[in-house]
A and B are shown apart, each in its own frame.
Chain A
Amino acid sequence: MAARPFFTSLRRQPVVVGLLVVLLLVLLPAFGLKGIQAIAAEPVPIRVLMPAPLADAVAGPVARFNASGSGVAVQVIRGPLDTETISDLAISSLLLGEAPFDLLLVDVSWLAKYVAAGWFLPLERWFGPEILAAMEPGARLGNGLGDHLWRMPLTGDTGLLYWRSDLMDRPPRDTAELVAISRDLQRRGRVRWGYLWQGRQYEGLSCVMVEMLQAFGARWWDDATATTVLDSPGAVAAASWLDALLRDGVSPKAVANFAENDALQSFAAGEAAFLRNWPYAWREIEKGEGPVTGKVGVTTMVGAPGEQGGGTLGTWGLSLIKGSPHPEEAVAVIRWLTGPVVQRQLALEQGYAPTWSRLYDDPELQRRAPLLAVQRQALQHPQLRPLTPAYAQLSDLLARQVNGMLTGQDGPGQTMATAQRQSQQVLRSVAGTPDRAPRIP
Chain B
Amino acid sequence: MRTRTSSLLLMLPALVLLATVFLYPLLRYGWLSLQASSVLTGLLPVPNGGANWLRLLDDARFWTDAGQTLRFALCSVALELVGGLALALLLHRPLRGRGPLRALTLLPWALPTTVMALGWRWILNDPHGPINGAIRSLGGTSYGFLSTPATTWFFVVLADVWKTMPFVALLLLAGLQTIPADLEEALRLEGASRVQILRRLTLPLLLPYLSLALLFRLAQSLGVFDLIQVLSGGGPAGTTESLALYAYLNAMRFLDFGYASTVMLATFLLLVVALGGGWLLLRRGGIARATERPA
Contact = CB atoms under 8 A, between A and B. Distances in A.
Direct touch of chains A and B (CB < 8 A) = yes
A426 B253 contact: no
A88 to B, nearest CB: 6
Interface string B44-76: 001111011011001111001000000000000
Nearest to B251: A95
B278 interface: no
B122 to A, nearest CB: 15
B174 to A, nearest CB: 39
A389 B61 contact: no
B39 interface: yes
Interface in B33-48: 35-36, 38-43, 46-48
A116 interface: yes
A324 interface: no
Interface size class for chain A? 35 or more
A433 B38 contact: no
A117 B251 CA distance: 13
B80 interface: no
A3 to B, nearest CB: 42
Contacts of B48: 428-429, 431-434
Interface in A1-49: none
Interface string A175-203: 00000000000000000000000001110
B259 interface: yes
A254 interface: no
A421 B55 CA distance: 9
B238 interface: yes
Interface in B7-43: 35-36, 38-43
B46 A400 contact: no
A410 to B, nearest CB: 11
A429 B60 contact: no
A185 to B, nearest CB: 30
B258 interface: yes
Contact of B58 (A118, A389, A425): A425
Contacts of A118: 42
B220 to A, nearest CB: 24
Interface in A90-125: 91-92, 95, 113, 116-118
B125 to A, nearest CB: 13
B46 A432 contact: yes
B262 to A, nearest CB: 8
A392 B60 contact: no
Contacts of A392: 253-254
A200 B149 CA distance: 12
Given A389-B38, A431-B40, A434-B48, A202 B256 contact: no
B233 interface: yes
A405 interface: no
Contacts of A91: 252-253, 255
A50 B104 CA distance: 42
A441 interface: yes
B237 interface: yes
Interface string B251-280: 011111011001000000000000000000
A433 B36 CA distance: 8
Nearest to B229: A88
B237 A116 contact: no
Contact of B49 (A116, A401, A434): A434
B54 A116 contact: no
B39 A113 contact: yes
Nearest to A388: B40
Contact of A390 (B38, B51, B64, B252): B38
A396 B237 CA distance: 10
B237 A431 contact: no
A85 interface: yes
A261 to B, nearest CB: 10
B38 A426 contact: no
Given A84-B253, A428-B51, A397 B60 contact: yes
Contacts of B46: 432-433
Contacts of A85: 233
A71 B48 CA distance: 51
A393 interface: yes
A438 B40 contact: yes
Contacts of B43: 117
Contacts of B64: 400
B201 to A, nearest CB: 51
Given A116-B40, A390-B40, A431-B36, A92 B252 contact: yes
Interface string A415-441: 000000110011011111110001101
Nearest to B47: A432
Contacts of A422: 55, 58-60
A425 B55 CA distance: 5
B238 A201 contact: yes
Nearest to A428: B51
A197 to B, nearest CB: 16
A91 B254 CA distance: 10
A51 to B, nearest CB: 15
From B40, B61, B237, residue with most partner A Cβ within 10 Å: B40
Given A113-B254, A434-B48, 18 more contacts: A92-B252, A113-B255, A117-B43, A202-B237, A396-B61, A422-B55, A426-B55, A428-B51, A428-B55, A429-B55, A430-B38, A430-B256, A431-B36, A431-B40, A432-B41, A432-B46, A432-B48, A438-B40
19 contacts: A91-B255, A113-B254, A113-B255, A116-B42, A390-B40, A390-B254, A392-B253, A400-B61, A425-B54, A425-B55, A428-B48, A429-B52, A430-B259, A431-B40, A432-B40, A432-B46, A433-B36, A438-B40, A441-B42
Give the top 5 A-B pairs by smallest Cβ distance, nearest first.
A432-B46, A432-B36, A116-B39, A425-B55, A428-B51
Interface of A: 84-85, 87-88, 91-92, 95, 113, 116-118, 200-202, 389-390, 392-393, 396-397, 400-401, 404, 421-422, 425-426, 428-434, 438-439, 441
